[in-house]
Amino acid sequence: MTKVGIIGTGMLGEAVGLHLLDSKYEVIVYNRTKNKVENLVKHGAMLVDTPKNVAEKSDIVITVVKDASAVSDVAFGKNGIIYGVNSELVVADMSTINPNSAKEISQKFSDSGISFLEIPVMGGPNVAINGELVMMVSGKKQIYEKFKNIFDIIAKKTFFLGDSGTAHSIKLAMNLQIAMLALSLSEGITLTRKAGFDPEIFLKILNSTYFKTGMSEKKAYKMIKDNFEPTFTLQNLKKDLDIINNTAKSLGAHLPMANQANQIYQNAVDAGFGEIDYTGILAYLKKISE
Ligand SMILES: NC(=O)c1ccc[n+]([C@@H]2O[C@H](COP(=O)([O-])OP(=O)(O)OC[C@H]3O[C@@H](n4cnc5c(N)ncnc54)[C@H](OP(=O)(O)O)[C@@H]3O)[C@@H](O)[C@H]2O)c1
């Protein structure tokens, strides 16, 4: 059976790894901070010391780290993936990064004789644990097809989108939706509260209309109870807003709302809300509305 390496066992990487183990795959793991691999090891993952060791033992290595600089560190840094190359190695990056960085990383892997796929996903650890992510893929189609069985375990839907950089461009448009939805829901809840109503009434009415969303039907009920246990941190969404705005600028796309949102999420990070869930933008609005 295909051996799958996972580099980066934060919230998303851990859930993907647990689901692969549950699906009887052999999983090899590395994380910069050692205690974050404990749960995976307890469930049967093999722990190794470096990204190089992961590469040596895997047919496919999935990187799930913070940003492009972290991908470069684990790929090309000391004891990085490229030093553990085996003849058939494929690297697939699930981190959300800038499309231009993805192209550069793809080229550097190719220069080292390693095939590279970009596999950004929609959905957090709560759905990854059941293999219900939605995956966007770019790179060489035959490599995607070779490992499609693994991607179909990780995700309920995969979309092959073409050459390097394409999957990340679409992923950015997706995360723009997340940022805006969390913000508009939070502003609606804040307005309702200030008008003296229980926000549950707002949600009940909203969810009776065409304008309801998965977020308003599910996560919003945690938000109004001030439950901001992170599945995707506010600071990681802010990181993505930076990428969205920089990419828009480089493409000549004018995105006024993304620009505004970037500033609001930055203010929330500066005010100490970065480590909680991205829906904690509601807690930040509550604080500035006091
Ligand atoms: N959570 C979600 O819902 C979700 C959904 C889709 C996409 N994503 C994307 O997936 C990626 C991971 O997200 P997450 O939620 O799992 O974040 P997370 O819990 O904050 O984990 C981040 C991971 O990146 C590693 N890392 C950061 N900088 C590094 C470096 N320089 N070298 C090596 N490792 C480094 C961290 O290692 P340490 O433990 O040592 O810090 C940790 O394993 C991000 O790009 C995020 O945008 C997340």
> Mind listing the pLDDT tens digit for each residue in 254-290?
999 999 999 999 999 999 999 999 999 999 999 999 9
**Could you tell me the two tokens for 108?**
């550097």
- For residue 13, what pLDDT band results from cuts at 50, 70 and 90? very high
Cα gap 212→53, rounded to integer Å: 47
What residues are in contact with ligand 1 under a 6 Å CB criterion? 8-13, 31-33, 36, 64-66, 70, 73-74, 95-96, 121, 124-125, 231-233, 236, 240
**Could you tell me the two tokens for 109?**
């892997």
Q: Is residue 284 within 8 Å of 267, Cβ to Cβ?
A: yes
**End-to-end CA gap in the chain:** 57
- For residue 14, what pLDDT band results from cuts at 50, 70 and 90? very high
Measure 122 CA to ligand 1 centroid, in angstroms.
14
Measure 250 CA to ligand 1 centroid, in angstroms.
25
Q: Is residue 265 within 8 Å of 238, Cβ to Cβ?
A: yes
Measure 89 CA to ligand 1 centroid, in angstroms.
22
Cα gap 257→263, rounded to integer Å: 10
Q: Which ligand 1 atom sits nearest the alpha carbon of residue 232?
A: 1
Measure 96 CA to ligand 1 centroid, in angstroms.
9
Cα gap 46→104, rounded to integer Å: 30
Cα gap 93→212, rounded to integer Å: 32
- For residue 88, what pLDDT band results from cuts at 50, 70 and 90? confident
Nearest 5°: CA angle at 136, between 132 and 142? 110
